[in-house]
Amino acid sequence: MLEFADPRAFFLLPLPVLSYFLLPRQMSAGTALVVPEGVGRHIMAGAATGARGLAGVRLLAPFAVWVLLVTALAGPRALAPQQALPMSGRDLMIALDLSGSMVRDDFTLDGAKATRLDAVKHVGAAFARARAGDRVGLVVFGSEAYVAAAPTFDTDAIARTITELVIGISGRATNISDGLGLSLKRLESSDADTKVVILLSDGANNAGAATPRDVAALAGKMGVRVHTIALGPIALAEAPDQRGVVDVDTLRAMSDLSGGQMFRVRTTDDLRGVAQALDALEPTARAGLSAQTYREYWIWPALLAGALSLWFGLWIRR
């Protein structure tokens, strides 16, 4: 259904008429052309005939142009159908470990060897892209923790950011505490009904002042569920003196303290299974609010007014 963005513009329609009657008229001074009497009578007779034909056009064309311009100014538009945007009422922060051990190539993708980071990029981007309805943010941590992407409903943008991550931007140590702490800070002012952190690490916490368990306990008090993903084929408890092992016990304690779940990942298939399990634990919305968008039609009366003005200007000059 056609409507107008600002129908008050139509109050301008009588402005030319009011101007014609209310503004003082100005007589333009001109020059006289002296011609023989017979020639003068012939010119005046032709002018009178042409004036009768031009009178209607001279009156109606400018008024039509004015009406079209006012109509364009009023902003004709029609409500465009728009699919409802899914809204889950959940804010979800993804915290990814970018420490030096993520370059280990003990995973496979499409039958070829791949680094842990490549596997996380592949599966994590697909997971983020499927979170329609959630407001998703991204935190990366190594020696320090950084917000790589502020919470947004644009899950495609989050997925692209994940695929562009590189080792070294946050240092090569493993600061799980600050990674979770920064995620909680971004959720602190959130008014979402549900707040969730998904934290993935392939190592043991070896940086930061606080302990991961203390920060996880704070998450529980804030009502934030923390799901942890322990990435790596060997656990710290199995080989305490080996480098690049994952601290499964600490990650399990973090999830327990906050009301979340811990997932053990040894292969790329395990990682895909975690993504499916998280979809079941934190389902995305299927319905929500619809956004009102309009198709704007002001350009058509504006173009018609311009064309009519051009035609009228050329016509009266003939």
Average of per-residue pLDDT across 215-242? 88
Q: Report the run of H or E that residue 245 belongs to, with start and end.
A: none
Tell me the two tokens of residue 30: 């001109």
Lowest-confidence range among 1-10, 32-41, 141-150, 174-183?
32-41
CB distance 255 to 227 below 8 Å:
yes
Confidence of residue 2 (pLDDT cuts 50, 70, 90): confident
* pLDDT at 28 (0 to 100): 55
* pLDDT at 257 (0 to 100): 94
**Residue, of 105 and 221, whose pLDDT is higher:** 221
* pLDDT at 102 (0 to 100): 86
CB distance 255 to 262 below 8 Å:
yes
Q: How far apart are CA 298 and CA 4, in angstroms?
A: 9
CB distance 107 to 119 below 8 Å:
yes
- Summarize pLDDT for 29-47 with one digit per residue, the tens: 555 555 456 545 554 555 4
Place of tokens 């203390």: 214
Q: At residue 256, does pLDDT exceed 90?
A: yes
- Summarize pLDDT for 3-16 with one digit per residue, the tens: 888 989 889 888 88
What's the Cα-to-Cα distance from 121 to each of 92, 108, 318, rounded to whole Å?
A: 17, 13, 71
> Could you tell me the pTM of the whole model?
0.63
CB distance 254 to 211 below 8 Å:
no
